[in-house]
Amino acid sequence: MTMISHKIMFRDISSMDGSFDDDEPFIFRLNENGSGPGLLVKVCAERGWRVYQGYHTGLEERWNLWWKTSAFPAASYKTLGDWQFMNHIPKGGSICRKDNLSRLLRCMKRIYGAVYDFSPPCYHLPLEYAKLVSECSRLRRDENGAGANVVWIHKPVAQSQGRGIFLFRSNTLFQSLCEMNCGTSAVVQRYIERPLLIAGYKFDLRLYVCVPGYRPLTAYMYAEGLARFGTDKYTLSDIHNPYRHLTNSSLNKSGPRYAECKDRIGSGCKWTLTQVRRALIGRWGAAEWVVWQRIRALVTLTLLAQAAGTPPARNCFEFYGFDVLLDDCLKPWLLEVNLSPALASDCEADVVVKQPMLHELFDLLGLPMKHTGLAKLQAPPPPTPNLNSCSSEDENGSTKSGRTRTAPRRGARVRRRRAMPMHCVTLQGPGAPEKAVPSSQSTAGAVNGSAANAPPDKTNDSIEKGKELNSGRYKCADTNSEAEVQSTSNGSIPATETVDESWRGGYSTAASRRRVMTACHWGNGVKWNQAIGRVGHWVRIYPHSLPKDDELPVEDVRDSVAQVSKFVRAAREVSRECGKDTSAPRDAARDAVFEEALRKKLDFGPHFQVWLPPF
């Protein structure tokens, strides 16, 4: 959907009640005090939007887009109107803390194996300090002394822009303790000692990702991005020079060689992904095409790691900055995920990438150009009341339920639902055997009997739960896997035992399906269960294929990981098959050949899009 098509959509809606003469402007709000990145303000002004002026005036709720660099309070989501949008999803920032990201990826790797092998070994301080000491001691013993020179990198979990980061070797761990602040949390990762270099300079990739929703997961990645270089040539003989090893642009701007015209790199410290791709093609050939598909898989798998613990939310989106490093074998490694990537314009590459990216981001989300007719728009009401509330839990995890609990009958055995561990503790591996658990008829009768006296909505939910219990399996909260439930003849789950956690159970009940479908249908008419494949350079990277009309895609982590694994295998096969002709030029036409071969191998239709940086 292009920018023009969005303008037409809003014009058609507003013309039902009147002309553009009476339209109100689209109002954007920045943080709590109106301050924000200059480039973002410029893009909003170019779209004809007006700055929010409601601070301390009694008109605090008259805004349409609220952009914050930090997370929103949980109460903000519950009062969100149909024509109000926020740039954060509740609980969508879990992967943006380095320790949380490491735990999630470690857990997923333990379950799904090598497909999650894209994060360096990591230790959390101060909790895992003893494990770190043990590993350093093992390296010194087992590798004939060579392990003593293994390099580690220390990163505070809640800081950015390179603050608090330093490198040390295994044999200097105890000497490095003086640089570690024992009162703050940090991670220590195995340093990638052989990164891919361009003209002797280390670099990483900043990739921009938009997630309009996690339930079900819908993700887009921008085809253009940035490469950030260190301003001194890379060497392991000097691990204390941050300008050789750290690629943060905020750090390298203060380097002595930042403004110098460096060999092949030029002045400054940034390239676009287009420039990086041209540099890789000449050296790596068809293998260059595969690395972008592996990066796509890396981003998707990282998002899947936290999808199970994120509730459905309407009119909310996340805008991430993924930092990825390539080693000298073209293997991508995930360094970190940024919740609010920098939108400053420090150099020409920033303007070339970020300004059109923001315009196309707003086009993707269905946010209009110029006038909108917001005062006249009447958005369709949600299917059931209180569905705009994105979650039944606060950010601190306390459960809130709008339903009243009634006391169970005397003598009845009450089985309370126990909160399951977050994310992936109960997930089964792709090849895990499933045990059939017998279900007694009396349990189903107890469930159906309690449902007979319940309200209509609860009746449907209870009947569906009874059917699942009859089959001997019940979908667990917090995960997309299926856990086994042993049913007994004298125990039942009464309908009065209601804890509103329907978002945790996927689509196991009618209420959860309604809630997720409502989150997919935004107030501006965009339906994310039928997400468009491409808007400008924003390419849908997940789901790979779309369901039929008005259906929800399957929300199962195991199936999703299996799909991504299949995608990576198919991309490697296509590269081997189509890359044999080394005489063919590597250009956009050649990319089209690779894309068609991949689509045919995966048996996907034209809605499937291949993510690649442009030539």
Torsions phi, psi for 423 (to 5 deg): 75, -80
- Which residues face 333 on adjacent strands? 325
* pLDDT score for 551: 64
Highest-scoring range by mean pLDDT, 5-9, 343-347, 560-564: 560-564
Q: Looking at 101-115, 463-477, 509-523, which range is the least confident one?
A: 463-477
- Whole-structure pTM over 0.85, yes or no? no
Give residue-wise pLDDT tens across range 429-449: 444 444 444 434 433 344 343
Pairing of strands 226-229, 217-222: unpaired
Find where tokens 């503790």 sit: 425
Separation CA 419–CA 404 (nearest Å): 19
- pLDDT above 90 for 338: yes
Count of CB atoms situated within 10 Å of the CB of 18: 12
Q: Is 85-117+194-369+523-615's fold the same as 121-191's?
A: no
Task: Determine the 3-state secondary structure of 310 from DSSP.
Answer: coil
Separation CA 315–CA 564 (nearest Å): 27
Give residue-wise pLDDT tens across range 297-314: 999 999 999 998 898 899
Share of the chain above pLDDT 90, in %: 43
* pLDDT score for 508: 59
377 within 8 A of 83, measured Cβ to Cβ = yes
Task: Determine the 3-state secondary structure of 187 from DSSP.
Answer: strand
Confidence class for position 515, pLDDT limits 50, 70, 90 = confident
Confidence class for position 54, pLDDT limits 50, 70, 90 = confident
Please provide the CATH number assigned to the domain covering 121-191: 3.30.1490.20
* pLDDT score for 335: 95
* pLDDT score for 532: 92
* pLDDT score for 143: 58
For range 506-524, the mean pLDDT: 77
Count of CB atoms situated within 10 Å of the CB of 347: 15
Give how far Cα 233 sits from Cα of 230, 239, 278, Å. 7, 12, 21
Task: Determine the 3-state secondary structure of 48 from DSSP.
Answer: coil
Give how far Cα 299 sits from Cα of 221, 293, 360, 388, 614, Å. 9, 10, 20, 28, 19
* pLDDT score for 105: 96
For 392-403, the three-class secondary structure string (H helix, E strand, C coil) is CECCCCCECCCC
123 exposure class (CB count in 10 Å sphere: 0-12, 13-18, 19+) = buried
CA angle, residues 605, 219, 287, in degrees to nearest 5: 65
For range 347-358, the mean pLDDT: 94
Count of CB atoms situated within 10 Å of the CB of 614: 12
Q: Looking at 439-453, 523-537, 562-576, which range is the least confident one?
A: 439-453
505 within 8 A of 311, measured Cβ to Cβ = no
- pLDDT above 90 for 160: no
Task: Determine the 3-state secondary structure of 599 from DSSP.
Answer: helix
- pLDDT above 80 for 418: no
- pLDDT above 50 for 524: yes
- pLDDT above 50 for 30: yes
Q: Looking at 28-42, 45-59, 176-190, 426-440, which range is the least confident one?
A: 426-440
Separation CA 267–CA 245 (nearest Å): 18
Q: Looking at 181-195, 348-362, 367-381, which range is the least confident one?
A: 367-381
Separation CA 52–CA 26 (nearest Å): 9
Separation CA 303–CA 216 (nearest Å): 11
Separation CA 588–CA 614 (nearest Å): 8
- Give me 545's structure tokens: 């294929």
* pLDDT score for 206: 97
Highest-scoring range by mean pLDDT, 162-176, 209-223, 271-285, 483-497: 209-223
Q: Looking at 78-87, 196-205, 494-503, which range is the least confident one?
A: 494-503
Q: Look at residues 44, 20, 576 and name the one whose alpha carbon lies nearest to residue 361.
A: 44
Strands (E), 286-396: 318-326, 332-338
Confidence class for position 57, pLDDT limits 50, 70, 90 = low
For range 420-430, the mean pLDDT: 41
Separation CA 377–CA 383 (nearest Å): 18
* pLDDT score for 447: 37
Separation CA 251–CA 90 (nearest Å): 31
Confidence class for position 33, pLDDT limits 50, 70, 90 = confident
* pLDDT score for 516: 80
CATH architecture of the domain covering 85-117+194-369+523-615: 2-Layer Sandwich (3.30)
Question: What residue segments make up the domains of the chain, in order of their start?
Answer: 3-84, 85-117+194-369+523-615, 121-191, 441-512
CA angle, residues 481, 555, 307, in degrees to nearest 5: 85
- Give me 221's structure tokens: 């990645």
Count of CB atoms situated within 10 Å of the CB of 337: 25
Tell me if the bond preceding 256 is cis, omega within 30° of 0.
no
* pLDDT score for 182: 62
Give residue-wise pLDDT tens across range 187-216: 999 999 999 999 999 999 999 999 999 988
Pairing of strands 186-190, 217-222: unpaired
Tell me if the bond preceding 73 is cis, omega within 30° of 0.
no
Separation CA 613–CA 292 (nearest Å): 8
Give residue-wise pLDDT tens across range 220-264: 999 999 999 999 999 999 999 999 999 998 898 888 998 888 888
